Structure 1
Amino acid sequence: MADNAQLIRSRELYGGVPYAYAATAPADARLVHLAGACPLNADGSTAAVGDYEGQTLTCLENLRIALGDAGAELTDVVFLRVLVASNRQQDLSAAWATVRTAFGDHDAPGTLFGVTVLGWPDQLVEIEAIAAVR
């Protein structure tokens, strides 16, 4: 497991959240800012139309590829932003649960947003990330 991201948990804030409250990167690391990973197949079509979990899985796979191209992996992520086109908390929770499963013990800090619409036809989920790489 990479040690580029140091996750920080507060003893004074609620401990039952599924993420660290903060993260730092080593002074000698470069930050990699990733564009939002979208649920797009290689041919440009939208994957898993109508399926929040399926689209989240595709976003995560595309995020892994972009991270790899930058010399990073999920354990190098210091911040996440998960956008879900829904006003229903259960849809946001489904996407977040899928993200948390993929990240495992590396519970990078992140923000979950419910949004009105995303950029691609039939798109329900998008995942942005910042990673630290040495």
Structure 2
Amino acid sequence: MPKEYINPAGVPRSPYFTRILSITKPSKLIYIAGQVPTDENSRPIHVGDIRAQFRAILDALTVQLKAVGASWDDVVFRRVYAIDVSAYVERCLRDETFPIPWSRDRPSPSTLIGVTALANPDFLIELEIAAVTAD
């Protein structure tokens, strides 16, 4: 499925996201609800460790993408909610040694939102995504 990653002149370019992602062919849209760091019984895991919570969220989202026949290459938008934006940026996003599943060369558009609370006080981060696959 053709995807066009666009960072137009006149708008600052970021190494962490693409400004515009254009999809021009018929496709299937997939929206995955906000994922938080929980175990199979919906209990918080990795309390106090944003990096471990982020890894657990990525693993859970990978399972969900696979369940609908998609992969991280199909993700067209990410929205991150973080209690501590600086910790997320430094410990997860900017750390080149941290394995994130989306491409650092062609990252999907994204939004990072600092929040004062999530559904459970032990959650430090939540991530929701949208993906598109060929119809």
TM-score range, shorter chain: 0.7 to 0.9
- TM-score under structure 1 normalisation? 0.84
Give the aligned partner of residue 97 of structure 1. Answer: 94
Unaligned 5+ runs, structure 2: none
Q: Which moved more, 1:75-84 or 1:102-111?
A: 102-111
Q: How does 1:106-121 map to 2 (within 5 A)?
A: 106-121=106-121
Q: Where does structure 1 lack aligned partners over 5 or more consecutive residues? A: none
TM-score, structure 2 as length reference: 0.84
Cα deviation code 1:56-112 (max 9, x no counterpart): 1111111111111111111101110011113xx422313433688331334101000
Q: Residues 106, 52 of structure 1: CA spacing in aligned structure 2 closer, same or farther, 3 A cutoff?
A: same
Structure ranking higher in helix proportion: 1
Q: Deviations over 1:37-60 (max 9, x none)?
A: 111122322121101111111111
Name the residue aligned to 2:59: 61
Query: How many angstroms apart in 1 are the aligned matches of 2:30 and 2:13?
Result: 28
CA distance in 1, matches of 2:2, 2:40: 30
CA contact (8 A) 2:2 2:25 kept: no
Matches within 5 A, 1:60-79: 60-79=58-77
Give the CA deviation at 1:16: 3.9
- Name the SS for the 2:26 alignment partner: coil
Question: What letter matches 1:102 in structure 2?
Answer: P
Query: Are the counterparts in 1 of residues 51 and 88 from structure 2 also a CA contact under 8 Å?
Result: no
Residue correspondences, number: 130
Q: Is the 8 A contact 1:84 1:124 kept in 2?
A: yes
Contact 1:77 / 1:132 at 8 angstroms: preserved in 2? yes
Equivalences for 1:1-134 in 2 at 5 Å? 3=1, 5-86=3-84, 89-93=85-89, 94-97=91-94, 101-104=100-103, 105-134=105-134
